[in-house]
């Protein structure tokens, strides 16, 4: 019989702390071994109780969640799931936490959630179990020179919210990722230059309410013009389209030009947005001119769709195990024979560029 997963709950609100504790304690495989109401106590209890997983609030007295997270990752690293509020500031702080070493996040229980408390309970329990069972690797920060290639306004023509350098391209790039993906995507997008010769479609498993802020973060760290995709968006080279957290992203051809179509409905491969849905649509619309990348993340979403891309003659990459926070979706794709080349996170951007 397997031992229970030991969880430390860190949250300054006594009500939210009880809600999270009750949710986790309702599962027979999980034991909440302790709680903390500030980041300083969290560091002490992490050393004392040696939990398997930590849930961490961000805004707390005495020491906030970001500082506590940094110290835990440096001294006694554990898989940390951030509990984040659905605000612009909350999203920004969450993305910082992911860059500092947190493995994932969920929305904080609140009355304005776009999902029910029951759904949130399922997500939290699932994430704790997946994080515990996965072979997690805390990424070692690799010192790299600043390579953000700034957009060059003198070369572009404004079209709505995007700056467009050329009207069309026969090629397309698609990237799918999950746990460990946000900070990895930022590092890739920093290396993608302005005047990029293809559109880039992105699915990052992330709750609705965070994807718009994350698209802005990618946009600010890249030569690409990145936005949260909207239904009917025209598709242009040099532009990135991030699937919103509550819809699948597809490509359609209408009146002789390609546009984004968002589909709100059931989960596919366990997710909405689904990487499989995106890869499948890219394969149908771009075929051998597709360049697709499957990255760090739990489960197998994307492994089936990227195999279709390869079978139709497109080129496929998988992030390697060494630089993945969780070697899951990419591992399944490699095992399925869906991958042309396995590459380090630090080489993904240049590898994409080499195939365009």
Catalytic residue, from 68, 121, 178, 290: name it.
178
Q: Which of 27, 233, 280, 301 does the annotation list as catalytic? A: 301
Q: Based on the residue annotation, tell me whether 351 is a catalytic residue of this protein.
A: no
From 42, 37, 35, 36, select the one nearest 76 (Cα to Cα): 42
Question: Which residue among the candidates 52, 57, 205, 280 is catalytic per the annotation?
Answer: 205
CA–CA distance, 339 with 331 (Å, rounded to integer): 10
Pairing mode of beta strands 172-177, 200-204: parallel
Annotation says 301 is catalytic: yes
- Give the ranges where 58-210 is alpha helix by DSSP (H): 65-75, 88-100, 117-133, 181-189
31 closest CA partner among 67, 69, 59, 3: 3
Q: How far apart are CA 236 and CA 223, in angstroms?
A: 14
Tracing tokens 């970001």 back to the chain, one arrives at 66
Peptide bond into 273 cis (omega under 30): yes
Q: Any catalytic annotation for residue 347? A: no
The Cα 123–Cα 343 span in angstroms is: 30
H or E element at residue 15? helix 14-25
Which pair of tokens denotes residue 218? 């990618």
Residues that are catalytic: 178, 205, 301
């Amino acid at each position: 019989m397997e031992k229970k997963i030991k969880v430390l709950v860190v949250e300054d609100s006594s009500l939210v702390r009880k809600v999270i504790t009750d949710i986790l304690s309702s599962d027979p495989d999980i034991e909440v071994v302790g709680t903390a109401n500030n980041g300083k106590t969290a560091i002490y209890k992490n050393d004392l109780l040696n939990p398997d997983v930590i849930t961490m609030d961000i805004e707390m007295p005495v020491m906030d969640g970001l500082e506590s997270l940094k110290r835990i990752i440096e001294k006694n690293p554990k898989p940390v799931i951030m509990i984040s509020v659905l605000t612009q500031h909350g999203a920004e702080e969450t993305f910082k936490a992911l860059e500092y070493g947190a493995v994932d996040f969920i929305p904080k229980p609140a009355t304005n959630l776009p999902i029910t408390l029951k759904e949130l309970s399922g997500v939290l329990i699932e994430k704790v179990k997946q994080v515990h069972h996965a072979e997690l690797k805390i990424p070692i920060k690799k010192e790299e020179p600043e390579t953000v290639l700034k957009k060059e306004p003198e070369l572009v023509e404004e079209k709505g919210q995007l700056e467009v350098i050329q009207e069309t391209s026969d090629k397309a790039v698609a990237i799918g990722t999950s746990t460990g993906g946000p900070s990895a995507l930022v590092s890739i997008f920093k290396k993608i230059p302005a005047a990029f010769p293809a559109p880039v479609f992105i699915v990052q498993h992330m709750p609705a309410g965070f994807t718009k802020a994350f698209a802005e973060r990618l946009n600010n760290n890249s030569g690409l013009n990145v936005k949260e995709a909207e239904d009917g968006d025209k598709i242009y080279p040099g532009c990135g389209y991030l699937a919103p957290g509550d819809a699948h992203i597809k490509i359609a051809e209408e009146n002789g030009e390609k546009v984004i179509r968002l589909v709100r409905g059931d989960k596919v491969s366990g997710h909405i947005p689904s990487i499989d849905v995106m890869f499948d649509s890219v394969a149908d619309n771009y075929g051998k001119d597709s360049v697709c990348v499957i990255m760090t993340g739990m489960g197998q979403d994307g492994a089936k769709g990227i195999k279709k891309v390869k079978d139709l003659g497109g080129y496929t990459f998988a992030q390697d195990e060494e630089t993945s926070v969780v070697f899951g979706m990419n591992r399944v794709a490699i095992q399925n024979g869906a991958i042309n080349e396995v590459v380090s996170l630090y080489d993904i951007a240049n590898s994409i560029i080499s195939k365009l």
